[in-house]
């Protein structure tokens, strides 16, 4: 029964960009289950229904405490009939029979290569390498050649070591350029499936020449195992797209880099390095902030930010720009705070974007 004295809990927004989602997840027991359901649907090619489970999991991740009573879910957004049933079953029985079934399913296990978490990372690898590669076969060959290494999570320590390598190469090529870490590590994650860097070049046009030069340098240092350079197809006059999945048009590259190990952990094999996936993006200076926001993620946070902009504010957002449909103008942004302000949103720090 309702407590008349109880203060109404502040409502949870259905948009991830209006929630603060840190890595401190109080509802892991539920979100893990919902993500297994989502992943299983994705493996079957059912992206639509999978998104509903992802959204439900994401919303639960933003809650300040664990769900204690099922009634608490009544006031929460993003929970469909299915997600509610799963939560109910887990809170009553400790687990969900459907999730257990999937976890034991031969097909699911084979797809996951029965290697725990690492295969999830390998999937991401194949997806990110193959999706972006002009040459499918060379991306696959690289993926399999370095499978063991790149299916292992990259640590924050390894990410920092790579930053030094990337920075050294970038500055050598262009002393006025700067490098920032983006992606999951910028959101405070301790591990990632790759390391993402964004390069800022103050002179116009430099963004198109810096990546080939950096790749050349890595080659000469004998640390480049694979590279897929995507030249810029960016047109400054184009409107932002409606399509959320569309990748941006900036100059970028997907690499596999040899990273020296601190201690020789693989002494028997005589291999003193590991292969790591590295992504570099070099946007033109006037679009840097939008690219930084886009590449910081998370994917779901950005998806909702774009959806919010379009549906609630009549503005179009993508990795390149923010466009106001009412005034037919592009909105400039020096900082990420500017972009949130343009959208009438409270600023959400990178580590609160783990939706």
Positions marked active-site: 194, 196, 279
By C-beta, is 192 or 283 nearer to Mn ion?
192
Find which of ligand 8DG, Mn ion, none residue 39 binds, CB within 5 to 8 Å per kind. Answer: none
Q: Which residues bind ligand 8DG (CB under 6 A)?
A: 124, 128, 132, 183-184, 189, 192-194, 196, 247-248, 252, 279, 294-295, 297-299, 302, 319
The answer to the question of residue 196 lying near Mn ion (CB under 5 A) is yes
Find which of Mn ion, ligand 8DG, none residue 247 binds, CB within 5 to 8 Å per kind. Answer: ligand 8DG
CA distance 295 to 307: 17
By C-beta, is 277 or 315 nearer to Mn ion?
277
Residue number closest to Mn ion, CB atom: 183
Find which of Mn ion, ligand 8DG, none residue 227 binds, CB within 5 to 8 Å per kind. Answer: none
Q: Provide the minimum distance between the beta carbon of 192 and Mn ion in the complex, in angstroms, as a whole number.
A: 5
The answer to the question of residue 192 lying near Mn ion (CB under 5 A) is yes
3-state SS track over the chain: CCCCCCCCCCCCCCCHHHCCECCCCCCHHHHHHHHHHHHHHHHCCCHHHHHHHHHHHHHHHCCCCCCCCHHHHHHCCCCCHHHHHHHHHHHHHCCCHHHHHHHHCHHHHHHCCCCCHHHHHHHHHHHHHHHHCCCHHHHHHHHHHCHHHHCCCEEHHHHHHHHHHHHHHHHHHCCCCEEEEEHHHHCCCCEECCEEEEEECCCCCHHHHHHHHHHHHHHHCCCEEEEEEECCCCCCCCCCCCCCCCCCCCEEEEEEEEEECCCCCCHHHCCCEEEEEEEEEECCHHHHHHHHHHHHCCHHHHHHHHHHHHHHHCEEECCCCEEECCCCEECCCCCHHHHHHHCCCCCCCHHHECC
**How many residues appear in the chain?**
355
Per CB under 5 A, the list member of 183, 240, 283, 350 interacting with Mn ion is: 183
- Would you call the peptide bond into 298 cis, given omega within 30 degrees of 0 as the criterion? yes
By C-beta, is 76 or 142 nearer to ligand 8DG?
142
The answer to the question of residue 228 lying near Mn ion (CB under 5 A) is no
Q: Provide the minimum distance between the beta carbon of 247 and ligand 8DG in the complex, in angstroms, as a whole number.
A: 3
By C-beta, is 207 or 279 nearer to Mn ion?
279
The answer to the question of residue 35 lying near Mn ion (CB under 5 A) is no
By C-beta, is 253 or 345 nearer to Mn ion?
253
Nearest CA to 319 out of 234, 205, 230, 192 is that of 234
Q: Provide the minimum distance between the beta carbon of 333 and ligand 8DG in the complex, in angstroms, as a whole number.
A: 16
Q: Provide the minimum distance between the beta carbon of 343 and ligand 8DG in the complex, in angstroms, as a whole number.
A: 17
Per CB under 5 A, the list member of 194, 228, 248, 304 interacting with Mn ion is: 194
By C-beta, is 109 or 132 nearer to ligand 8DG?
132
Q: Provide the minimum distance between the beta carbon of 129 and ligand 8DG in the complex, in angstroms, as a whole number.
A: 9
Among 22-30, 73-81, 178-186, 339-347, which window interacts with Mn ion (CB under 5 A)? 178-186
The answer to the question of residue 149 lying near Mn ion (CB under 5 A) is no
Binding site for Mn ion (CB under 5 A): 183-184, 192, 194, 196, 279
């Amino acid at each position: 029964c309702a407590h008349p004295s109880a203060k109404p809990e502040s409502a949870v927004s259905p948009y991830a960009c209006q929630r603060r989602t840190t890595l401190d997840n109080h509802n892991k027991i539920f979100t893990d289950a919902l993500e297994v359901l989502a992943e299983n649907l994705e493996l079957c090619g059912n992206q639509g229904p999978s998104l509903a489970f992802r959204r439900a999991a994401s919303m639960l991740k933003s809650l300040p405490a664990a769900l204690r009573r099922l009634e608490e879910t009544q006031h929460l957004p993003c929970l469909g009939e299915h997600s509610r049933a799963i939560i109910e079953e887990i809170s009553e029985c400790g687990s969900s029979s459907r999730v257990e079934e999937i976890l034991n399913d031969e097909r699911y296990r084979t797809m996951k290569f029965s290697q725990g978490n690492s295969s999830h990372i390998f999937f991401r690898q194949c997806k990110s390498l193959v999706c972006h590669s002009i040459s499918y076969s060379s991306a696959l060959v690289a993926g399999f050649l370095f499978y063991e290494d790149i299916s292992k999570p990259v640590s924050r320590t390894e990410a920092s070591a790579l930053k030094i390598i990337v920075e050294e190469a970038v500055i050598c090529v262009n002393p006025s350029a700067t490098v920032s870490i983006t992606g999951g590590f910028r959101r405070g994650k301790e591990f990632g499936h790759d390391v993402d860097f964004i390069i800022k070049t103050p002179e116009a046009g430099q963004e198109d020449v810096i990546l080939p030069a950096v790749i050349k340098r890595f080659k000469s240092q004998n640390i480049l195992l694979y590279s897929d350079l995507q030249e810029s197809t960016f047109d400054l006059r184009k409107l932002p797209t409606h399509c959320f999945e569309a990748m941006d048009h900036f100059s970028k590259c997907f690499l596999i880099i040899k990273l020296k190990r601190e201690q020789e952990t693989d002494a028997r094999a005589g291999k003193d390095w590991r292969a790591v996936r590295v992504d570099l993006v070099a946007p033109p200076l006037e679009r840097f902030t939008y690219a930084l926001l886009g590449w910081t993620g998370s994917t779901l946070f950005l998806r909702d930010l774009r959806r919010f902009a379009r549906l609630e504010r009549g503005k179009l957002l993508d990795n390149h720009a923010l466009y106001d449909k009412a005034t037919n103008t592009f909105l400039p942004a020096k900082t990420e705070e500017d972009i949130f302000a343009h959208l009438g949103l409270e600023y959400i720090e990178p580590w609160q974007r783990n939706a």
